[in-house]
Chain A
């Protein structure tokens, strides 16, 4: 039996980042992935002839320092430099277009409010500072409060403090105040037009089961803005899956091993210490450390088992809010769909967004959903919110068709040519996110990024520093601080904690 320094469970981008950094340090690492491909949610897949799509995550990039450290360009990663526009659809077809060029965007905003147009550039300036704040916060490992800072955690936190102060007193307060705000309140500080407000506020809801009137969507707005580097997605040449492939390439080149179709069933624990894993096929592999890049609920309740963990800890893990409410609808068209290039949203008003969320609150599928649409040639990809993972009535085995229909009907109101152009379709329900992509309750972020589940509360109070009650077992997926979205931060951070 071969033994490794570290086994990493899950080849999502965070698991791969952790593996690459460890391999770079000369460690013997093995990444185990249950699917037949690497990447987790950052994958490009084919659902039929000419029907190749970024299945889930629509676009984005890793932190630039990670791309550099791991030399990902040499593994074929090319991130687009041109940022496409962000377009909020209007019934009269006079869409609100946030062009990457601020002046052009302001021009479009002017149609809705002069004042808002004038505020656009100051707002962008503020959001740049916000992004700096979010990135430095994500680069810090959140220590255990109030005791138990170790030197490197203390340093990272001090750096964060300094970075925040460097934004200036006023900006700092504005950001701090913005965190617990609702997306509605956050945008209301800057804009008066409901249309402008809703377009910007939609970022605060994207991927989360929260409404525009939910406290903390101020923060998620900042988070998504920072991860995207703006409002629209940037795309990766050849599909977002290239990120994962490049990472896998780096891992292998640095001597790491990656095995797909290798589902971990159990973490082997002896005397409250992890010493390896058992695969679904019964194979046992031992290692010095185990890092789980799967979500914390799955990690602790299935892979470790509640019996091995303290009762309060188990209770806290059970209480982690995993509330998937995102579905994806991919349409293969003949090319005449009529949808413009860019990130296109159906988010006409704040109350529209809120109502869409109400459906998730009551465990339903929104009849008037908030949609974010991207196109790639003939393919139209629709991000659908809200569709609750736990349905009050009906079953995800059959309700997928309903999501598909609502998505197409909603879009067809703006693009009458869309429906006739459709050649093939693929819907991914919240249940598919769980069964196919391994996300407990279909939660993309491995746990909602709510105020009580972020920073030093992520994944649960007292365990924000990647460690777990089991010695030698660590976490590095999106469920820990730094995670949520594609940046690689939590995969990078765990390496600093490892003994």
Chain B
């Protein structure tokens, strides 16, 4: 019988994973956390260097004369403006302008791109490729990937890479050699910190892991599971498919779908590019008429929350990991939206959430209240709409 897969790093990760905290991600088992509490892993991302196995990302190679044309048609960005070695973050939509998925596109050379995504997209790419001269192949299993995140990540790479990563700019990539192995390194990540993603052939996975762990020893390198990652991505204001929005191809009803504008991705929608792209008409219309929803950050007022707990004689309680649940958001007695992920930020010492609010409540500074459960009773903690990201260190893009 066909089993779920282990990633090519399994030999290492399984030896380190103390609490047997495994998670299913896209048909793979990955580590949720390596230790019983995730604090050390969280702080590794924010203070030193974290090594995260992100192999389960879906990866596609798109090659051929029309590779750029295809991606320009599928995604919302102007792919023709991309230079070789550049990486774009992008959304892609159905023809009604509702988001199917989001991910990164890397231009490896003039006619070769690598696309990553959360969900399988091969079928969608093929459907769009009719009439194009391209070859699309899925490389999810054959390409392994590691995310090295944190303020010390550059120092670790400088020590272990053949070519210097010093000049590698934000959202650019370079070919390199690491631990004797050919890799591609992109300055990307899902933490909002300084960080890199390293792409290699699956067979070389362990060599790369070992080389990084060894080189990182003096910089506090720490293997980190996806639970700590989840907290940092909320701080960075980054949303997640199936948690913060529903793919248009999964939604049961219209109301479950989101447009890129509604998720705050206005900057990725290149309405000025020429010709047809999927969703163009609908997106033009929404741009003109304005969106009825928007995803924003909200900060729960600590003092207000403390008061709610104090009423029943308790100190305030916050969950230890990011909470993926729908929490109603009110203005007065009317529900005006919901939060889809909330998290305590150990760094900011704030309780924060990604929230979806109706017009006009999504404006910055709006006072709202988020539902919390205090000793089995529903309460509404005061909160405020704030700018995303919640946290952005100055070294992220430098």
**Which residues of A are in contact with B by a Cβ distance under 8 Å?**
271-272, 301, 305-315, 318
Given A301-B130, A306-B130, A311 contacting B69 (CB threshold 8 A): no
Given A301-B131, A307-B131, A272 contacting B280 (CB threshold 8 A): yes
Q: Total contacts A to B, CB within 8 angstroms?
A: 36
- Determine the chain A residues whose CB is within 8 A of the CB of B395 once the complex forms: none
Q: Is the CB of A311 within 8 A of B124?
A: yes
- Determine the chain B residues whose CB is within 8 A of the CB of A272 once the complex forms: 275-276, 280-281
Question: Which 10 A-B pairs give the minimum distances between C-beta atoms?
Answer: A306-B131, A306-B130, A310-B95, A311-B127, A311-B128, A314-B130, A307-B131, A308-B276, A315-B127, A305-B131
Minimum CB–CB distance from A236 to chain B (whole Å) comes to 41
In the bound complex, how far is the Cα of B134 from the Cα of A307, in angstroms? 13
Minimum CB–CB distance from B92 to chain A (whole Å) comes to 11
Q: Is the CB of A318 within 8 A of B130?
A: yes
Q: Is the CB of B95 within 8 A of A312?
A: yes
- Determine the chain B residues whose CB is within 8 A of the CB of A318 once the complex forms: 130
Per the CB 8 Å criterion, the residue count for chain B at the interface is 16
* Most chain B CB atoms below 10 A, which of A305, A310, A312, A313: A310
Question: Is B132 part of the binding interface, using a Cβ–Cβ cutoff of 8 Å?
Answer: yes
- Determine the chain A residues whose CB is within 8 A of the CB of B130 once the complex forms: 301, 306, 314, 318
- Determine the chain A residues whose CB is within 8 A of the CB of B276 once the complex forms: 272, 307-309
4 more A-B contacts (CB under 8 A) besides A307-B276, A311-B127, A312-B94?
A272-B281, A306-B130, A308-B276, A310-B278
SS of A interface (majority): helix
In the bound complex, how far is the Cα of B71 from the Cα of A128, in angstroms? 56
- Determine the chain A residues whose CB is within 8 A of the CB of B95 once the complex forms: 310-313
- Determine the chain A residues whose CB is within 8 A of the CB of B124 once the complex forms: 311
In the bound complex, how far is the Cα of B124 from the Cα of A314, in angstroms? 12
Question: Is B63 part of the binding interface, using a Cβ–Cβ cutoff of 8 Å?
Answer: no
- Determine the chain B residues whose CB is within 8 A of the CB of A301 once the complex forms: 130-131
**Which B residues from 142 to 162 make CB contacts under 8 A with A?**
none
15 A-B pairs whose Cβ atoms sit less than 8 Å apart in the complex: A272-B280, A272-B281, A305-B131, A306-B130, A307-B69, A307-B73, A307-B131, A308-B275, A308-B276, A310-B95, A310-B278, A311-B124, A312-B127, A313-B95, A318-B130
Q: Is the CB of A314 within 8 A of B280?
A: no
In the bound complex, how far is the Cα of B130 from the Cα of A305, in angstroms? 9
**Which B residues from 257 to 282 make CB contacts under 8 A with A?**
274-276, 278, 280-281
Closest chain B residue to A314, Cβ basis: B130
In the bound complex, how far is the Cα of B123 from the Cα of A398, in angstroms? 38
Closest chain B residue to A272, Cβ basis: B276
Minimum CB–CB distance from A251 to chain B (whole Å) comes to 33
* Most chain A CB atoms below 10 A, which of B127, B130, B281: B130
Closest chain A residue to B125, Cβ basis: A311
Minimum CB–CB distance from B109 to chain A (whole Å) comes to 22
**Which B residues from 56 to 77 make CB contacts under 8 A with A?**
69, 73
* Most chain B CB atoms below 10 A, which of A307, A308, A314, A315: A307
In the bound complex, how far is the Cα of B130 from the Cα of A76, in angstroms? 46
When each residue 92-135 of chain B gets 1 if its CB lies under 8 Å from chain A and 0 otherwise, what string results?
A: 00110000000000000000000000000000100110111000
